[in-house]
Amino acid sequence: MDTDKLIERLVADLKPVRPLWPPWARTALWMGVALPYVTVVVWGKLTMIDPSHAANDVRFMIEQAATLATALMAAIAAFRSAVPGFDKRILLLPIAPLGLWLASVGHGCIQDWLRLGVDGLAIRPDWDCLPMAAIIGIIPAVAIIVMLRKAAPLHPRLTLALAALAVASIANFGLQFAHVRDASIMVLVWHLGAAAVLAALGGWLGKRVLRWQPNRLELR
C-alpha cells in the first residue's frame, strides 16, 4: 500500500480533539462546583455556629483542614490516574492528609475516653445524618464522574476509588458543620467509616461506572 494513501486514509475521518485540562485545573473546577454547593446545603447550620468558638477549637479546625485537603489530594490523584502513563507516585497524595485526619479523630477518641470513661466511646445509631450526607455528596459525585468519563481511565477501579474518597471527604467536610459536637468515636465510625466504605464501593463499581472505549480507526 502506498504510504501517502495510507496516511490520507488514517487522517480522513479525524476530528479535532480538545486536550484535557491538567489534573490540577480539573480539580480546581470540581472544587469550584463542590464547595459552593456544600456551603449552600449546610448554610443554615453555619449560621448557628459561633465563629470565635469554632476558631478556638483547634482539633475541629485541624480535622476540617485535613478533610478538605484529603478531598483535594484524592481528586488530583483521581484525575491524574485517568490519564494513561501517569506516575504511580501520584497515588500517595491523599495519604498525608488522610493520616492527619485519622490521627486527629483518634486523639479525640482518647481524650473523650479519658474525660468520660467508657461513655466517651459509646457508639449510637446516627441515621439522621444519612439524608444530609446524601444531599451533600450527590452533586460532587455526579460532577467528578462526568469529568472522569471525558478522560481515559485505564484503571477504572482505582480511579473511582480515589474519586469516591474525594466525594466522601468533601461531604464529611460539610457534614461536620451540622454535627460539630459529635463525639470523636462517632466521627471515626460514621464519617471516616463511611469514607472507607465509599472508597471500597467505588473500587468495586469502577469498571461499570467508568467504561472507556478507545476509538478505532477503520481502514477502507
pLDDT reported for residue 85: 84
Residue 10 forms part of a structural domain:
no
pLDDT reported for residue 93: 93
| Rounded Cα gap, residues 92 and 108, in angstroms | 25
Residue 14 forms part of a structural domain:
no
Residue 105 forms part of a structural domain:
yes
Of residues 63, 71, 69, 57, the one with CA closest to residue 104? 63
The pTM for the full model equals 0.78
Give the E-state strand segments of the chain in sequence order: none
% of the chain surpassing 90 pLDDT: 27
Residue 216 forms part of a structural domain:
no
Residue 15 forms part of a structural domain:
no
pLDDT reported for residue 166: 94
Question: Which whole-number Å values give the CA distances from 128 to 131, 135, 171, 190, in the listed order?
Answer: 7, 12, 15, 11
pLDDT reported for residue 104: 83
- 23 CB-contact burial (10 Å; exposed 0-12 / middle 13-18 / buried 19+): buried
pLDDT reported for residue 191: 62
Total domains in the fold of the chain: 1
Residue 55 forms part of a structural domain:
yes
Residue 13 forms part of a structural domain:
no
Question: With the CA atoms of 64, 179, 175 and 190 taken in that order, what torsion angle do they form, in degrees rounded to the nearest 10?
Answer: 90
Q: Which domain holds residue 45?
A: 24-209
pLDDT reported for residue 103: 86
pLDDT reported for residue 61: 86
Residues of the chain with pLDDT under 70: 1-2, 6-17, 45-56, 112-114, 116-129, 179-195, 206, 212-220
Residue 44 forms part of a structural domain:
yes
Q: Which residues of 170-196 are buried (b: 16+ CB within 10 A; e: fewer)?
A: bbbbbbbbbbeebbbbbbbbbbbebbe
